[in-house]
Every structure is written in C-alpha cells, then in structure tokens.
C-alpha cells in the first residue's frame, strides 16, 4: 500500500488550499468560513517519483460550536490512526494557539511522524519573527509555506517523503478499482459506506446536505 499523509489542523489555517495545490485540482472546498471542509477527502498525490495518498481533514458545520471541536478531534484521530505521516498545519497570522498545542500533544502521544507546516508565510525571504515561536511546539523545525502562492511546498514534501516508512511502496498503482456511491441527499449513502468500511469514515447526519465534499 502507498504511504498515507494526513493534513490536520485548526479550521481556516489553509489545509484544503495546500491539499488542492498538491493534488493538482480543486478537490476540497476552500472558503473563508472556518469549518467548511466537512469530511476527510482523499487524493492520489506524488512528489518527484514518490506516490502517496493524501487526506484533507476538517470539521463539519455543526448545530452547535461544541460539536465542531468534537468532530474535528474525531476526524484528526481517524487521520492519525490511518496516516504514516501527519502534516500539522498552523499559520503565522494567528501564531501558536491553544488548539495547535492540543493537536500537537495528541500527535506526539500517538507517536506519529509529524511535519510542522507554518502556512501563510506569503512574502519571500526570511520568515517573520512570529515564525520562530512555532519551535515551542516541540515538533522540530517548522517549515514555512504559502499554500496560495505555492511557496515552500517542495521543502515540505521533501520532509514528508523523508519520513515515509522504509518499506513503503511508493510506486504508482494503476490497478485499483474505484467505486462511487451516488444518490439523493439523505438517501443513506454515508451510512452504507460506513457499514462497508467499518469505521466512521463519513459523517452521518440527518441534516440533508451534510457531506459536502467528495469522499473516495
Ligand atoms: P482549511 O479550513 O484549513 O481547509 O483552510 P482553507 O484552505 O479553506 O483556507 C482558509 C482561508 O485561508 C482561505 O480564505 C484561503 O484562501 C486562505 N489561505 C490559505 N492558504 C493561504 C496562504 O498561504 N496565504 C494566505 N494569505 N491565505 C491563505
Ligand atoms: Mg478545509
């Protein structure tokens, strides 16, 4: 199996923007409203000759504020369980937040291979002073990136690929069969997929239209 890379982090740090940049198409919904990516999404991706699977994690748009955090943590936990390497995404505009510390602690506890990305470093040259604050997360050297401008992403992916397990199969697999489940909102698609896959891969809600993004 190809290595799995998950991007986790607070809503609105730029996870989906990075995901789309690497996946090469606009698969994830990018919006100014925090919590817009409602489910994890998967994409085949590659860097140089290395092929891997990438997951964009995110919260759902919930009825209450509490529900966002609960769902986010669940999504992050599922990504932690499945990923070989986790990219923890933060951004230089907000600095280090309590939520970043929370997720960092979660990842460290899970003993994951972690790459720390500091997004929204949009100006070329030396990163701003605030960038150095991210060393405090204790996750090693942060990598400055700008997802919208496409800067630093090569360095980030070098770091990600360096952390793949030694026996990882990074060759291209063209022989996998892809199945799509389609149907009316609320017909029961997500419940069926969860049943088959045996895990909470899709957020199920009786609010019509909850799953907004495509899920493989
Ligand atoms: P997500 O919630 O973590 O998936 O974040 P999104 O990818 O949806 O991005 C949230 C907002 O941040 C959007 O308005 C993006 O255009 C913006 N954004 C993402 N990456 C960058 C970046 O590198 N620089 C700047 N200035 N804005 C960014
Ligand atoms: Mg998103």
65 contacts: CB under 8 Å, gap ≥ 6: none
Mutation choice for ligand 1 from 6, 7, 10, 12, CB with most ligand atoms inside 8 A: 12
Q: How many A from CA of 195 to the centre of ligand 1?
A: 33
How high is the pLDDT of residue 64? Answer: 46
Closest to 214 (Cα-Cα) out of 20, 81, 71, 78: 20
Report how far residue 63's alpha carbon sits from residue 115's, in angstroms, rounded to the nearest whole number: 32
- Pick the atom of ligand 1 nearest to 29's CA: 8
Give the residue-averaged pLDDT of 189-198.
Answer: 79
* Dist. CA 33 → ligand 1 center (Å): 10
Taking the model in full, what pTM does it have? 0.79
Residue nearest to atom 27 of ligand 1 (CA): 120
Q: What is the mean pLDDT of residues 123-152?
A: 95
Distance (Å, rounded) from C-alpha 182 to C-alpha 172?
27
Task: Please tell me the predicted confidence (pLDDT) of residue 186.
Answer: 82
The predicted model gives 18-29 an average pLDDT of 76
Ligand 1 atom at minimal distance to the Cα of residue 149: 23
Ligand 1 — pocket residues by CB below 6 A?
11-17, 30-32, 36-37, 58, 119-120, 122, 146-148
The arithmetic mean of pLDDT across residues 59-70, rounded, is 48
pLDDT tens digits for range 163-179:
999 999 899 876 767 77
Q: Assign 128 to helix, strand or coil.
A: coil
Higher-pLDDT residue of 163 and 203 is 163
Residue nearest atom 13 in ligand 1 by C-alpha distance: 32
Task: For the chain, give the mean pLDDT.
Answer: 80
> What pLDDT is recorded for position 216?
40
Confidence of residue 72 (pLDDT cuts 50, 70, 90): low
17, 58, 103: which to mutate for ligand 1, most atoms within 8 A of CB?
17
Tens of pLDDT, residues 175-193: 767 777 888 878 888 788 7
Residue 153: which of 47, 2, 5 has the closest Cα? 47
Is the pLDDT score of 214 beyond 80?
A: no
Ligand at shortest distance from the CA of 13: 1
pLDDT band (50, 70, 90) for residue 195: confident
| Residue 89, phi-psi category: left (phi > 0), alpha (psi -120 to 50), beta (remainder) | beta
Q: Who wins on pLDDT, 64 or 195?
A: 195
How far is residue 85's CA from residue 92's CA, in Å, rounded to a whole number? 22
Q: State which of 41-50, 131-140, 201-210 shows the largest mean pLDDT.
A: 131-140
The C-alpha angle 94, 41, 93, rounded to 5 degrees, equals 10
Does pLDDT of 66 surpass 60?
no
């Amino acid at each position: 199996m190809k290595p799995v890379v998950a991007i986790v982090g607070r809503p609105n740090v730029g996870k989906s923007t990075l995901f789309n940049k690497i996946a090469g198409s606009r698969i994830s919904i990018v919006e100014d409203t925090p919590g817009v990516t409602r489910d994890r999404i998967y994409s085949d991706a590659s860097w140089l000759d290395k092929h891997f699977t990438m997951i964009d994690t995110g919260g759902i748009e919930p009825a209450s504020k509490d529900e966002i955090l609960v769902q986010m943590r669940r999504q992050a936990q599922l990504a932690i369980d499945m990923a070989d390497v986790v990219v923890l995404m933060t951004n230089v505009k907000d600095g280090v937040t309590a939520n970043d510390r929370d997720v960092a602690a979660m990842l460290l506890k899970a003993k994951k291979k972690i790459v720390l990305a500091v997004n929204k470093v949009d100006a070329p040259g030396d990163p701003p002073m605030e960038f150095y604050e991210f060393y405090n997360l204790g996750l090693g050297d942060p990598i400055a990136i700008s997802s919208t401008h496409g800067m630093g992403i090569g360095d980030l992916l070098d770091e990600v690929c360096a952390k793949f397990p030694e026996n990882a199969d990074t060759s291209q697999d063209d022989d996998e069969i892809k199945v799509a489940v389609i149907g009316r909102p609320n017909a029961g698609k997500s419940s069926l997929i969860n049943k088959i896959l045996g895990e909470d891969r899709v957020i199920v809600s009786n609010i019509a239209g909850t799953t907004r993004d495509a899920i493989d």
